[in-house]
């Protein structure tokens, strides 16, 4: 990994800026409803932006199939999606703060914590969050 980074030429690196946004309390107004990144943009460190956009589309279309009123579909959609997407956005932000932190003391402590982390439990917890509100 270190070697790959060292051998990469500067001109081969494309710099991009990435942003998330704070959770939005209401995703809809009149006949417009935000979904995907427009409703809950998360940093790439969440690893879930596109996944959550796809989940939105699935939930949204499932609700529309039940032919309720637009207002009730929108409010139910946000109700079922808000907590999960907010948790993912905020954890992506926390992970970025830790991953790209430049404070030496913080990094040393972070690296020590990484050595004693129970990755089996950690990955089970992540899987539990990522599969929330999805069919078994
Ligand atoms: C570096 C990086 C790595 C990532 N890695 C992952 C990953 O590993 N896993 C994962 O799940 N997600 C990842 N993502 C996140 C993922 O790319 C986004 O969350 C996802 O693309 C959001 O999909 P979307 O359809 O909601 O929005 P977008 O993909 O942003 O699509 C919105 C579209 O609307 C268009 N648009 C905007 N305004 C207008 C307008 N006024 N009129 C017409 N069109 C308009 C835009 O041009 C765009 O094509 C990553 C993102 C980045 C930047």
Q: What's the whole-model pTM score?
A: 0.91
Question: What is the pLDDT tens value at each position of the chain, 136 positions in all?
Answer: 889 989 999 999 999 999 999 999 999 999 999 999 999 999 999 999 999 999 999 999 999 988 779 999 999 999 999 999 999 999 999 999 999 999 999 999 999 999 999 999 999 999 999 999 998 8
Quick one: pLDDT at residue 56?
98
Containing structural domain, residue 40:
27-130
Residue of 33, 34, 37 to mutate, ligand 1, most atoms within 8 A of C-beta: 37
Q: Is 23 in the pocket of ligand 1 (CB under 6 A)?
A: no
Ligand 1 atom at minimal distance to the Cα of residue 42: 19
Give domain status of residue 6, yes or no. Answer: no
Q: Is 48 in the pocket of ligand 1 (CB under 6 A)?
A: yes
- How many domains would you assign to the chain? 1
Give domain status of residue 116, yes or no. Answer: yes
Quick one: pLDDT at residue 68?
73
Quick one: pLDDT at residue 106?
98
> Which DSSP string corresponds to the chain?
-HHHHHHS-GGG---------PPPS--EETTEE--THHHH---GGGS-HHHHHHHHHHHHHHHHHTT--HHHHHHHHHHHHHHHHHHHHHHHHHHHHHHT---HHHHHHHHHHHHH--HHHHHHHHHHHHTTTS--
Q: Which of 17, 15, 27, 16 is nearest to 78 (CA)?
A: 27
Residue of 49, 54, 57 to mutate, ligand 1, most atoms within 8 A of C-beta: 49
Spell out the residues 6+ positions from residue 43 whose beta carbon is closer than 8 angstroms to its own: 18, 19, 20, 49, 89, 92, 93, 95, 96
Quick one: pLDDT at residue 135?
87
Give domain status of residue 119, yes or no. Answer: yes
């Amino acid at each position: 990994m270190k070697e790959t980074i060292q051998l990469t030429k500067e001109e081969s690196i494309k710099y991009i800026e990435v942003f998330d946004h704070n959770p939005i309390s209401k995703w809809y107004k009149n006949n417009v409803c935000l979904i995907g990144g427009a409703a809950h943009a998360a940093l790439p460190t969440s690893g879930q932006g596109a996944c959550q956009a796809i989940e939105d589309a699935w939930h949204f279309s499932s609700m529309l199939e039940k032919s309720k009123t637009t207002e009730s579909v929108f409010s139910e959609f946000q109700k079922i999606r808000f907590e999960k997407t907010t948790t993912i956005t905020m954890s992506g932000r926390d992970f970025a703060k830790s991953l790209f932190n430049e404070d030496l003391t913080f990094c040393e402590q972070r690296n020590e914590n990484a050595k004693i982390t129970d990755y089996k439990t950690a990955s089970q917890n992540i899987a539990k969050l990522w599969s929330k509100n999805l069919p078994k």
